[in-house]
Structure 1
Amino acid sequence: MTTQPTEPSAPAGNTPVTFYDHLLPGIEAGRYRITVDQQLPAEQLPGARLDPVEQIVDVRAAQFRLDPSWVHAVYPAPHSQGPFHGLLPHITLNPAALPWEREPFTGNVQNPARAPWPALLLFGEGELPGDPNALGTTASVTVRALLDGDAAVSGPALDRNAVDPALLDTPCRVVDVPRDLLAQLLPELSDLAFLAHVRSGGEDAAPAEGQDGRLRQEAHAVITTARFPATAQGRYVAHLVSLEGHAPAGAQADGKPVRLVSLHSWTFTSCPESGDSFSRLAGRFAPGHGEHSAAPLCPTPAADANLPEELGTLLEQGMVPMTHITDSGERALAWYSGPFLPRVAPGLPRPADGHFPDADGLLLHEPHTGTFATGYACAWNVGRALALADPGFATTLVRLRHQGRLRRATDRQYATYRRQLFHNAPSAGPAPRMAARAAAPTPREQFEELLRGDALDALAESFAAPDDAGPRPRTVRAAPTAYRLDAPPRSSAPQSAPSDARETAAWLARLRTLSGVPFDCLVPDQRMLPPESLRLFHVDRGWLDALLDGARSLDRHPGADTATDAELDGLLDGHGSVPAAGLLLRSALVPGWPTLRVEAHAASGTVPVEVIRREALGADVLLMLFDRMPDRLTISEPHQGLHFGMDDQGNVALRSLAPGEVGRPLGRSVPVGADPALTVTTPAGARVLDLGRLAARLAEDVKPGSPLSPAEFAVQLVRAPEQLTLSFEGTTR
């Protein structure tokens, strides 16, 4: 298997994303008085005028706390490290209208540009007195205490009567910000509108059905900060704060800190020299990076090991030497191979009944070294251990087997009575005698009728029916007038599988995707998956079968449970595809980009490969299982994480705003990082964008004669997600 990259780092494919300036609610949050007055034109009529009716209505919205489920994504990821000095941190919210449900500031401050009431502020180490290490530390106060105020700080001036009384004794998180620092970080009211917009579409947005029945992409509100992390290494904390009830920055001259409500916060570390950017991390999987390159999953011996050819071949096949302890306690060398192999495994010969009864029959002899290959036997034991560790599955499987045995025993007994009845049937005689026998059945005929009537169903229910299965339908059968040996003993109408069988098959289907299997059984040697590596593999179908045979071995009798096993096999076939290949990714990409996009294609990238399972198995390990071996992989940043900021050279790439071409790169850029008029360094050392000047400067190039709207401004600052494409040639399929 060889790897060949196509473009080590390129912008991701076009994704339909629409930007909007804002999403205004039908009515803002607050208290309203509704007055209804009715008057008829003919005032001389009795009852022509009705007294006015008034009603107080409270329109409520988020104010002091934010539901964590409303936070769709944040960037940079919480507790991540990377070169973020050229990017503007941002937060994406599920309620798209939330930033405009209230008004920022107080004192009759006009807001014609529709600035949002929350703002995202970025603080570094040593800037917040209550959080000098930028760990996200906040203070907790009740809403009542916040409204009452504190003489040492300047809090929000809100009307208590407009606050829901049920919220007064609930806690909220606050952060005290020095006034001069807030004045440096918080833009002017006219510029605040550029820091919030609405995004609709993208591959991460789930389609929702509108009132017209059409599917529409879900919209998200995006709030960015105007501050860049410093070019030097440092930790930062981002706070989404409420501006409601406050005065604009610099409006008051007192030196009191400003107490802001923190709706959401997270921390990250900017390390310009860490090399942990997406392009650098993903680029290591290209050929030429040694053990970091995308390669088969197998042990790699040392260069000076000088192993015999036979042993080197076994290692290349994915087998790992292990210590094997026999039943007698002796220690011997054995070879282990898990379900992930760098080759297509040969078919595992099956027993006559299709299932292995124990692990001993799966100990295979390795002829080159004269030792055992224990992979399949280990799989059988792991499956049995997982089944015994789940009491619900074990109980269901045993009950299913007992039900099947009782049904088959009853059917056999019934067939025996039918044969006896046939042999004891009266010979042909005169018609009156036959009529008399039909009118007066013999005792054997009466007993046979009882067995295939309601008495048989009641007997089966009392011995085998589960508690939650409910009573069986009772049937009324007419007395037979003739008997046929070839008649079916039970009803031949199709019946659905019992609930126990469906539950058992569903559990086995999850196990077939290796859910719950210890990681040591999947990757027996950590050197097979070193840090910052990507490994492709084939899935050994025989290993999966041995795993399932061990789980199904509880209370199994090969002769008596053949029908139950066949029923489970049929149900398993209906539970989707069986894993045939997959990949393991061990990299800082997993925690740094939790929604990392990995696309697999076959047939030279034209046929998408089905992803059967995708799960993070640890802090930095991602497992994906496919229905076939792909020959092309595309790893890209998540599309909901459209970043905003400058490129590595400190430039903002210009994009078209023409209808039908919105977002198309124009091939020109504006130097922002090196222009002190656009990127202002505050006395505190913070690099803050002058949003008003930057918007005017960008408008000169992309929209001459007209100002930019918040959505158009966001389009210019977008940094498209990066991606890496790997093609695999010579892969054994």
Structure 2
Amino acid sequence: MTTHPTEQSAPADDTPVTFHDHLLPGIEAGRYRITVDQRLPAEDLPGARLDPVEQIVDVRAAQFRLDPSWVHAVYPAAHSQGPFHSLLPHITLNPAALPWEREPFTGGVRNPTRAPWLALLLFGEGELPGDPNALGTTASLTVRALLDGAAAVSGPALDRDAVDPALLDTPCQVIDVPRDLLAQLLPELPDLAFLAHVRTGGEDAAPVEGRDGRPGRDAHAVITTARFPGPAQGRYVAHLVSLEGHTPPGVRADGKPVRLVSLHSWTFTSCPESGDGFGRLAGRFAPGNGEHSAAPLRPAPAAGLPDELGTLLEQGMVPLTHITESGERALAWYSGPFLPRVAPGLPRPADGHFPDADGLLLHEPRTGTFATGYACAWNTGRALALADPGFATTLVRLRHQGRLRRATDRQYATYRRQLFHSAPSAGPAPRTAARAATPTPREQFEELLRGGELAALAATFGVPEGEEPRPRTVRAAPTAYRAAPPRRSAAPRPTSSDARETAAWLAGLRTLSGVPFDCLVPDQRMLPPESLRLFHVDRGWLDALLDGARSLDRHPGADATTDAELDDLLDGQGPVPAAGLLLRSALVPGWPTLRVEARTASGTVPVEVIRREALGADVLLMLFERMPDHLTISEPRQGLHFGVDDQGNVALRSLAPGEVGRPLERSVPVGTDPALTVTTPAGARVLNIGGLAARLAEDVKPGSALSPAEFAVQLVRAPEQLTLSFEGTTR
């Protein structure tokens, strides 16, 4: 079964989100015996009966450990805090078929509903004996010890011969769960299938499906828990556990705790009154929220400052201590590449590149101090180039190659001029046999002087390199010169690998890759916690940064050709950053794939993102090709989560073809219905999965049962988003 929720049940995007009931592997993990038996029709012929051939084949899949890279996302985010009491935690896995590669429970239990062998269990504080504080503590055992079992617990009953011998001495993480608690949290086998499905789409790339409609390479498996976090504040730990080899809940009543293999776990804190949910965190960036509101990146001016100082602060400049070459300390003004205004163009030297940082120390006439921003950029670029031995070696080699080519060209031009001046005259025959030979340079020079050819001599010496000296008609005895040797082809030389590598490194530096954060934001008060700041990028600062990096072993006269070649290559390395934003918020670690879309022209034209990178734990940097006038911040596309609304209701959605996911403007009360949300003796709120699926089917699919994909569509809560514009904010 496949369902395609529309944009009403997913973020507004051109890429639809598709739910599948499951993705079954071609063959389940386990040990198989392959027997080949061949018989000929005429059994009386010699050799008609061949002995059967048997082969034992082990089909292996994850069993006791999970590769951390297979975990695509978890919700709520690890170590996050927020109002999660109405949401069902879930985990998204990259191997889409992983939950169905093995069988749950023991081999004698039938599984017609294709229930997964993985389950997500949620535990609160004081529920797990080995982890009373819900910190994610697990016990480490070898696989051999797990299979041997222990008298005090009920472990999985697995065939040791079917386990890879190389895994027996490897560690695995286990938790011991009281049997009564497990029976309360784990649904029955037929209902367990509703807690897992496959999702495609909703990513940056368009969904790719096979010809048979099976999930494509962007598919992810999603496993949801049936338990809600409590309404009161508390810490919870979620464990992705293996059900393989166990008995269904309630079958055995020996009272022993059940030992489960924990493949992945994370903790979070549910606090209904917390302001750390996505909507509340993003809502702070709206206008009217003080320093949290989206604003230009600049220091906050202090009260009572003179007008000239307040103007400098408004322009994004920060007062800092400047240590001169003589060791004296003085006040100076610093501005990084991020400014709240469009910076004026930086005047360039005649050759286009600054040779040192001293020429970039600009005098600030209003305060009588220096502005050191460009000089700092130059020194930073040079320091980063020296810190990268690969780049430094490549750049120096490129310059030496350029100088060698230049020297070769000069030598060739000199040789051609010498051939031109040593050409024999076509005038009267020589007076002696000795004069019939090619004249020496001295004789040619004397002949020129006698013939009054000083002007021709001066003109010849003044020929620029690479140009042909032209024959002249002289006033005295004119002479005819033979043709000069043919010139070399003027076709451009192919770009060397060193030049391409150097240009690529400089292009990365132009996006401020590797530049220390203190150079970008010199005062932390410019970017307070839970704030979003927009800025223009100073092109002069970027040019000074690159000039410093290119200053290694640079000689302005000898390296002009190499510099021009690098300039041409840099022009082809994509757009130069012109604007950007800095986001300092708990959204960055809590939602690593947070979506930020920039648009201009009244929100219709997307702005190209040149660089996006998390700087530190809670700071996100984005650089754009131009300044946007609309920003949309939304939860990740794979951040679709499940649960009920603030009133405890499930908003019903259509399952009709072509309208899957469309809201039906009616809902089913779940949180207040004790038949659908069961409160266990321990105080846990657990969904009655089977009862809820039947109740939802009555409204959206009368006369039929819901599939896991259709059940997931009903429980979807679409990601929130916030749109910011210069005129205001809309939610």
Cα distance between partner residues in 1 of 2:394 and 2:230: 60
Q: Which residue does 2:287 correspond to in 1? A: 287
2:267 partner SS: strand
**Alpha-carbon distance, 1:49 to partner:** 3.1
Counterpart of 1:626 (choices 619, 624, 627) is 624
Q: Which residue does 2:570 correspond to in 1? A: 572
Q: Which residue does 1:81 correspond to in 2? A: 81
Cα distance between partner residues in 1 of 2:399 and 2:54: 71
Q: Which residue does 2:118 correspond to in 1? A: 118
Cα distance between partner residues in 2 of 1:33 and 1:524: 68
Cα distance between partner residues in 1 of 2:10 and 2:133: 36
1:629 partner SS: coil
Counterpart of 2:339 (choices 338, 341, 345) is 341
Q: Give 1:116's aligned amino acid.
A: P
CA, structure 1 residues 75+484, in 2 after alignment: closer, same or farther (shift >3 Å)? farther
2:41 partner SS: coil
**Correspondence 1:56-455 to 2 at 5 A:** 56-106=56-106, 108-204=108-204, 216=216, 218-302=218-302, 305-428=303-426
**Alpha-carbon distance, 1:491 to partner:** 4.6
2:712 partner SS: helix
- Is the Cα contact below 8 Å between 2:10 and 2:637 reproduced in 1? no
Deviation digits for residues 11-48 of structure 1, max 9, x if unmatched? 73154011111111222111122222233333344433
- Is the Cα contact below 8 Å between 1:205 and 1:217 reproduced in 2? no
**Alpha-carbon distance, 1:310 to partner:** 2.2
The higher radius of gyration belongs to: 2
- Is the Cα contact below 8 Å between 2:155 and 2:246 reproduced in 1? yes
CA, structure 1 residues 288+213, in 2 after alignment: closer, same or farther (shift >3 Å)? closer
Deviation digits for residues 637-683 of structure 1, max 9, x if unmatched? 00101101111221111111000011111111111111111111111
* TM-score (norm. length: structure 2): 0.88
Deviation digits for residues 349-389 of structure 1, max 9, x if unmatched? 10100011111111112222222211111111111121122
CA, structure 1 residues 485+75, in 2 after alignment: closer, same or farther (shift >3 Å)? farther
- Is the Cα contact below 8 Å between 1:385 and 1:551 reproduced in 2? yes
Q: Which residue does 1:682 correspond to in 2? A: 680
Cα distance between partner residues in 1 of 2:316 and 2:630: 22
Cα distance between partner residues in 2 of 1:165 and 1:443: 91
Q: Give 2:16's aligned amino acid.
A: P
Instruction: Mark the runs of 5 or more structure 1 residues left unpaired by the alignment.
Output: 1-8, 432-439, 445-481
Q: Which residue does 1:529 correspond to in 2? A: 527
Deviation digits for residues 437-472 of structure 1, max 9, x if unmatched? xxx99999xxxxxxxxxxxxxxxxxxxxxxxxxxxx
What is the count of residue pairs matched by the alignment?
Answer: 674
Q: Which residue does 2:452 correspond to in 1? A: none
Deviation digits for residues 95-135 of structure 1, max 9, x if unmatched? 11111111111151111111111111111111111111111
**Alpha-carbon distance, 1:514 to partner:** 0.7
Q: Give 2:12's aligned amino acid.
A: G
CA, structure 1 residues 231+148, in 2 after alignment: closer, same or farther (shift >3 Å)? same
Q: Give 2:526's aligned amino acid.
A: M
2:408 partner SS: helix
Q: Which residue does 2:49 correspond to in 1? A: 49
Verify: 1:646 aligned to 2:644, yes or no. yes
CA, structure 1 residues 330+91, in 2 after alignment: closer, same or farther (shift >3 Å)? same
- Is the Cα contact below 8 Å between 1:11 and 1:722 reproduced in 2? no
CA, structure 1 residues 134+414, in 2 after alignment: closer, same or farther (shift >3 Å)? same
Cα distance between partner residues in 1 of 2:606 and 2:192: 43
**Alpha-carbon distance, 1:693 to partner:** 0.8
**Alpha-carbon distance, 1:209 to partner:** 8.2
Which range is displaced more, 38-47 or 205-214?
A: 205-214
Cα distance between partner residues in 1 of 2:322 and 2:38: 93
CA, structure 1 residues 213+78, in 2 after alignment: closer, same or farther (shift >3 Å)? closer
CA, structure 1 residues 11+54, in 2 after alignment: closer, same or farther (shift >3 Å)? closer
- Is the Cα contact below 8 Å between 2:668 and 2:696 reproduced in 1? yes
Q: Which residue does 2:605 correspond to in 1? A: 607
Which range is displaced more, 375-384 or 540-549?
A: 375-384
- Is the Cα contact below 8 Å between 1:319 and 1:336 reproduced in 2? yes
Q: Which residue does 1:516 correspond to in 2? A: 514
CA, structure 1 residues 190+207, in 2 after alignment: closer, same or farther (shift >3 Å)? closer
Q: Give 2:174's aligned amino acid.
A: V
Cα distance between partner residues in 2 of 1:442 and 1:682: 115
2:88 partner SS: coil
1:640 partner SS: helix
CA, structure 1 residues 306+11, in 2 after alignment: closer, same or farther (shift >3 Å)? farther
2:726 partner SS: strand
1:268 partner SS: strand
- Is the Cα contact below 8 Å between 1:146 and 1:155 reproduced in 2? yes
Q: Give 2:529's aligned amino acid.
A: P
Which range is displaced more, 213-222 or 522-531?
A: 213-222
Verify: 1:13 aligned to 2:6, yes or no. no
- Is the Cα contact below 8 Å between 1:695 and 1:708 reproduced in 2? yes
Q: Give 2:376's aligned amino acid.
A: C
* TM-score (norm. length: structure 1): 0.88
CA, structure 1 residues 207+702, in 2 after alignment: closer, same or farther (shift >3 Å)? closer
- Is the Cα contact below 8 Å between 1:201 and 1:217 reproduced in 2? no
Cα distance between partner residues in 1 of 2:42 and 2:83: 77
**Alpha-carbon distance, 1:606 to partner:** 1.4
Cα distance between partner residues in 1 of 2:562 and 2:604: 41
Deviation digits for residues 174-212 of structure 1, max 9, x if unmatched? 111111111111111111011111112112567558589
- Is the Cα contact below 8 Å between 2:194 and 2:708 reproduced in 1? yes
Q: Give 1:606's aligned amino acid.
A: T
Instruction: Mark the runs of 5 or more structure 2 residues left unpaired by the alignment.
Output: 1-7, 430-436, 442-480
2:87 partner SS: coil
Cα distance between partner residues in 2 of 1:10 and 1:35: 50
- Is the Cα contact below 8 Å between 1:631 and 1:729 reproduced in 2? no
Cα distance between partner residues in 2 of 1:483 and 1:354: 42
Deviation digits for residues 557-616 of structure 1, max 9, x if unmatched? 111111111111111111111000000001111111111000001111111111111011
Q: Give 2:153's aligned amino acid.
A: V
Deviation digits for residues 478-515 of structure 1, max 9, x if unmatched? xxxx9854843x55344322222222111111111111
Percent of pairs with identical residues: 88
Cα distance between partner residues in 1 of 2:330 and 2:64: 66
CA, structure 1 residues 190+216, in 2 after alignment: closer, same or farther (shift >3 Å)? closer
2:525 partner SS: helix
CA, structure 1 residues 83+298, in 2 after alignment: closer, same or farther (shift >3 Å)? same
Which range is displaced more, 577-586 or 691-700?
A: 691-700
- Is the Cα contact below 8 Å between 2:677 and 2:688 reproduced in 1? yes
Q: Give 1:144's aligned amino acid.
A: R
**Alpha-carbon distance, 1:631 to partner:** 0.7
CA, structure 1 residues 283+373, in 2 after alignment: closer, same or farther (shift >3 Å)? same
CA, structure 1 residues 559+211, in 2 after alignment: closer, same or farther (shift >3 Å)? farther
- Is the Cα contact below 8 Å between 2:578 and 2:624 reproduced in 1? yes
Q: Give 2:321's aligned amino acid.
A: T
- Is the Cα contact below 8 Å between 2:301 and 2:314 reproduced in 1? no
Q: Give 2:30's aligned amino acid.
A: G
Deviation digits for residues 33-79 of structure 1, max 9, x if unmatched? 22222333333444333332222222211111112221111111111
Cα distance between partner residues in 2 of 1:110 and 1:10: 34
Kindly report the root-mean-square deviation, in angstroms, between the aligned alpha carbons of the 2 structures: 2.5
Deviation digits for residues 287-325 of structure 1, max 9, x if unmatched? 1111111111111123xx122322222211111122223
Cα distance between partner residues in 1 of 2:509 and 2:25: 48
**Alpha-carbon distance, 1:617 to partner:** 0.7
Cα distance between partner residues in 2 of 1:296 and 1:584: 10
